[in-house]
Amino acid sequence: MLETIILGIIVLLFLWWLTQPNARFKKFGDAIPGPRPYPYFGDMLTAPLTGPNALDKHVALARKYNGTYRLYMGNILSVVVSSPEDIEAVLTSNSLINKAFTYEFLQSWLGTGLLTSTGEKWHARRKIITPTFHFKILDKFINVFNKHTDVLIKRLEKHCSQESFDVEMLLKRCTLDIICGNFRFSHFFMFSETAMGIETDEKSSVIVDYIKSVERIIQILSDRLTKPWLFSPITYALSGRYFIERKLLKTLKLFIDEVINMKQSDEADTKSSSEDFDDFGIKKKTAFLEMLLNIKSQPNTIIATDKDIMEEVNTFMFAGHDTSVSTLCYSLYLLAVNPKIQDMLYEDLIKTFHSKDKNFTREDLNEMKFLERVIKETLRLYPTVPFIGRNANEDIKLPSGYVIPKDAMVIVNIAYSHKNEKQYENPDVFNPDNFLPENVAQRHPFSFIPFSAGPRNCMGQRFALLEIKTILAKIVLNYKIEPANGNFKPMPDVKMVLHSCTGHKLRISKREM
């Protein structure tokens, strides 16, 4: 018995020693204010970066420590930056261009695609993928936005008589259809329309399986990203999460394999004229998956294998629909609880377009200035990615005076940046006028960064804004949005992307012209 107790004490002391910050981390960490860390866990029990309380917790910590503070993830020093000056220094620094080490946990799913890669691979991939988001490409897919949103509008009609319903799954189906429409084989995922309404085809269950698998794997990987006791492959496997992850990855792989195989078959059956190609034999201004397949067919290319294509398709599918759904859900909630603003938006849209059934052009979407302010204000209050992690390749001195030591993690606190009292009057109040040009001009440019900023900003932000505008405009033109019964309020839940652990319930009623 005594020997067992002594052995237990030795093991605990060893774990305590193993999880102590190294001397250099401790030296610099002690110079930065922050909450008290606990042995082994660091600050992840009291100040987690995921979960239902993460958003409010880190807004409060930033206010308490005047913008910059330190956390320990186990024994790893993390410096959290929240002021626009410090954020600008971090996001524009070439020494902080690599993602935090925790992003490596996503590689089992996303590989080393654009989101998770570093160094030359990231530079090369970014360079070749950027043209797929050119405005001339986006022009081609405005019709895709219109088409799938019209299906959503029809599907929403059956919910008019209900007291309340959760809109999230419908929006996920719509945005996923739009992504697949960008791949140009949306007939595989589309719903068949009949005179009696909408009925799903036999393939629709594939979408549901994919969406549910994405939801589950996001939860599992979010846990691992910020829980030091899951960093080790051994403890991760012992927790049972590893085996669940492998099963989910199999479902996701089957879906993406079919996506790629169908496009390859489509490409083989379609002949393109010579004028569609540039001097290197690559299609001019092609859509995303077409571009990847065209590049793969070239010699000595950075995208040479099916695995390379899988990485980027997985990344685009995840980033392209989950983030948009978050913004759409929270936008609808804010419009529901701010009926005067919703009425102003409806009047602005109907005055401009004179119809609830209009198919928008890119020019139409660019004219929707009030809607754009509503979307930006939603992103301010509910940023889709509240925290961004980077790794310091060298010592970095911040404008605030603190030093980030080499190999420490840097966390950009977008959640607080968007609620900084020095930048926004009444920062907790929904006010689209925050984004009137004269008000924007008075703020630091890095006080609003919903798509990140600097060389690793989100290259799909124009696609996302056009998609979100199309969906919101058509919903508001066709339906009046009302709060769910019982003063329902979504509870923000950070899982890499911002979700709600209480769902996104609302009520709708049909508008009459």
Structural domain contains residue 15: no
Maximum distance among all alpha carbons in the chain?
84
What's the average model confidence in pLDDT over 269-294? Answer: 56
CB-neighbour burial class of residue 229 (10 A; exposed 0-12, middle 13-18, buried 19+): middle
Structural domain contains residue 8: no
The pLDDT confidence band at residue 23, using thresholds 50, 70 and 90, is low
The pLDDT confidence band at residue 201, using thresholds 50, 70 and 90, is very low
Mean pLDDT rounded to a whole number for the chain: 85
Where do the DSSP E strands lie in 307-424?
387-391, 396-397, 403-404, 409-413
pLDDT score for 278 = 46
Q: Residue positions in the annotated binding site? A: 458
- b/e string for 40-61 if b means 16 or more Cβ within 10 A? bbbbbeebbbbbbebbebbbeb
pLDDT score for 480 = 96
SS3 labels along 454-506: HHHCCCCHHHHHHHHHHHHHHHHHHEEEEECCCCCCCCEEEECEEEECCCCEE
Q: How far is the C-alpha of 140 from the C-alpha of 143, rounded, in Å?
A: 7
Tens-place pLDDT, residues 65-97? 999 999 998 888 999 999 999 999 999 998 888
Q: Which residues are registered as beta bridge partners of 59? A: none
Retrieve residue 287's tokens: 């859509």
Q: In the predicted model, is pLDDT for residue 302 greater than 60?
A: yes
Tens-place pLDDT, residues 464-494? 999 999 999 999 999 999 999 878 899 999 9
pLDDT score for 306 = 82
pLDDT score for 266 = 63
Task: Find where tokens 């022009």 sit.
Answer: 139
CATH of the domain at 52: 1.10.630.10
pLDDT score for 136 = 77
Q: In the predicted model, is pLDDT for residue 330 greater than 60?
A: yes
Structural domain contains residue 6: no
Structural domain contains residue 2: no
Retrieve residue 63's tokens: 């206010």
Cα four-point dihedral sign 222, 467, 168, 500: positive
The pLDDT confidence band at residue 255, using thresholds 50, 70 and 90, is confident
Q: Quick one: which of 65, 12, 14 has its CA closest to 36?
A: 65
Q: What percentage of the chain has pLDDT greater than the value 90? A: 53
Specify the number of domains making up the chain.
1
Q: How far apart are the first and last CA of the chain?
A: 81
Structural domain contains residue 300: yes
Q: Residue positions in the annotated binding site for heme? A: 458
pLDDT score for 2 = 58
Structural domain contains residue 365: yes
Tens-place pLDDT, residues 38-61? 877 888 888 999 999 999 999 999
In sequence order, which ranges of 47-130 are alpha helices (DSSP H)?
54-64, 84-91, 107-110, 119-129
Structural domain contains residue 154: yes
Contact of 93 with 451, CB cutoff 8 Å: no
pLDDT score for 448 = 98
The pLDDT confidence band at residue 286, using thresholds 50, 70 and 90, is low
Structural domain boundaries enclosing 111: 23-510
What's the average model confidence in pLDDT over 224-236? Answer: 86
What's the average model confidence in pLDDT over 250-272? Answer: 73
Q: How far is CA 42 from CA 77, 442, 497, in A?
A: 9, 39, 23
Q: How far is the C-alpha of 420 from the C-alpha of 205, rounded, in Å?
A: 44
Structural domain contains residue 412: yes
Contact of 283 with 290, CB cutoff 8 Å: yes
